[in-house]
Amino acid sequence: MVYQLFYGFGIITCTVILFQLIKFITPYLLPSKLEKYRTGNAYALVTGATDGIGKAVAMELASKGFNVIIHGRNAHKLNAVAEEITAKNAACKVVQLLHDGSKSSQMDITCLLGLPVSILVNNVGVGPIGEFAQMTNQQIDETITLNATFPSQLTHNLVPYLKQPALMLNVSSYTALLPPPYLAVYAATKAYNNAFSISLARELEHMEVISLLTGSVHTGSNKKPVSFMRPSAATYAKSILGIVGCGRQRIMPYWPHALQTGLISLLPQPLIDKATKAALKKELVSKG
């Protein structure tokens, strides 16, 4: 009897583990459905597209045949990215949007309203590491404006004009799930991005909306060297576009990040807290 009970429990445990494993790997094995958004000269708008992940996503979308609208705050960098995109993809039309999203959450998008925009990538975001008490009131306001209010207002103003079928990708962060010390405002805005995205995915059923829980990626603001666990922005952009159509409302597009976060979350919380604090403190000290 006891043997049968253990046997039954073992079968159930193995089935649950197998189910979780299949659930984990499926989105990364499915072919991307990005192509379905490329009808009729479609445009993709990427915010914060002059560096890092945003630039890499814009480049990757252009290479897949999309026209792109690139947003940034620096006219020279916008021009340089536009030139780089057209040098590699002669047929690609590039529109530039110059706007500092930390100063004002309202960007003028009237120039886009006649264009067949089918993809919105809310990528822009900053989060300098530092002690909360040392942040100025202005830094707090600007971080929240850029990371949370700006994408909300842009989404509100653009979504009614998106050409169907439409896709929205919202770049959130692992910090939304495991908020570390010294990044309080940033982590809070990334939790906002995640909740905003999931809520919209449930509301706007005619659109595909995905929250991208991003781990460490080598970019303009994260200069730590590229490694297996810290992909280049170009590799990460491929992962992002690879999971389009995966059927999830939120996902870590780069599977090693998902595995890492899954394993970390199995550890006792005090241990996670201690290790994260030590790592972040070291980073804080090294930045002076």
**Residue 173 makes contact with ligand NAP by CB under 6 A:** yes
Nearer to ligand NAP, 38 or 86 (CB): 86
Binding span for ligand NAP by CB under 6 A among 9-17, 24-32, 160-168, 216-224: 216-224
Active-site residue, selected from the candidate residues 37, 43, 186, 236: 186
Show the site string, 175-214: x = touches ligand NAP by CB under 6 A, - = not. Answer: ---------------------------------------x
Nearer to ligand NAP, 216 or 235 (CB): 216
Active-site residue, selected from the candidate residues 190, 192, 236, 254: 190
Nearer to ligand NAP, 47 or 118 (CB): 47
What are the b/e assignments for 46-67, b being 16+ CB within 10 Å?
Answer: bbbbbbbbbbbbbbbbbebebb
Nearer to ligand NAP, 72 or 180 (CB): 72
Interaction residues for ligand NAP, span 82-141 (CB under 6 A): 100-102, 123-127
190 is catalytic: yes
Show the site string, 10-49: x = touches ligand NAP by CB under 6 A, - = not. Answer: --------------------------------------xx
Q: Which of 13, 20, 74, 265 binds ligand NAP (CB under 6 A)?
A: 74
Binding span for ligand NAP by CB under 6 A among 25-33, 38-46, 70-78, 278-286: 70-78
43 is catalytic: no
Interaction residues for ligand NAP, span 218-237 (CB under 6 A): 219-222
Angstrom CA distances, 11 to 8, 16, 24, 67, 266, stand at 5, 9, 20, 52, 22
CB of 225 vs ligand NAP, minimal distance in Å:
12
The angle subtended at Cα 27 by Cα 232 and Cα 63, nearest 5°, is: 45
Tell me the three-class secondary structure of the chain, residue by residue.
CHHHHHHHHHHHHHHHHHHHHHHHHHHHHCCCCHHHHCCCCCEEEECCCCCHHHHHHHHHHHHCCCEEEEEECCHHHHHHHHHHHHHHCCCCCEEEEECCCCCCCCCCCHHHCCCCEEEEEECCCCCCCCCHHHCCHHHHHHHHHHHHHHHHHHHHHHHHHCCCCCEEEEEEEHHHCCCCCCCHHHHHHHHHHHHHHHHHHHHCCCCEEEEEEECCCECCCCCCCCCCCCCEHHHHHHHHHHCCCCCCCEECCCHHHHHHHHHHCCCCHHHHHHHHHHHHHHHHHHCC
Nearer to ligand NAP, 102 or 276 (CB): 102
Nearer to ligand NAP, 50 or 149 (CB): 50
**Residue 252 makes contact with ligand NAP by CB under 6 A:** no
Kindly list the residues in this chain that would bind ligand NAP in the complex (CB under 6 A): 48-54, 72-74, 77, 100-102, 123-127, 146, 171, 173, 214, 216-217, 219-222
* Catalytically active residues, by annotation: 186, 190
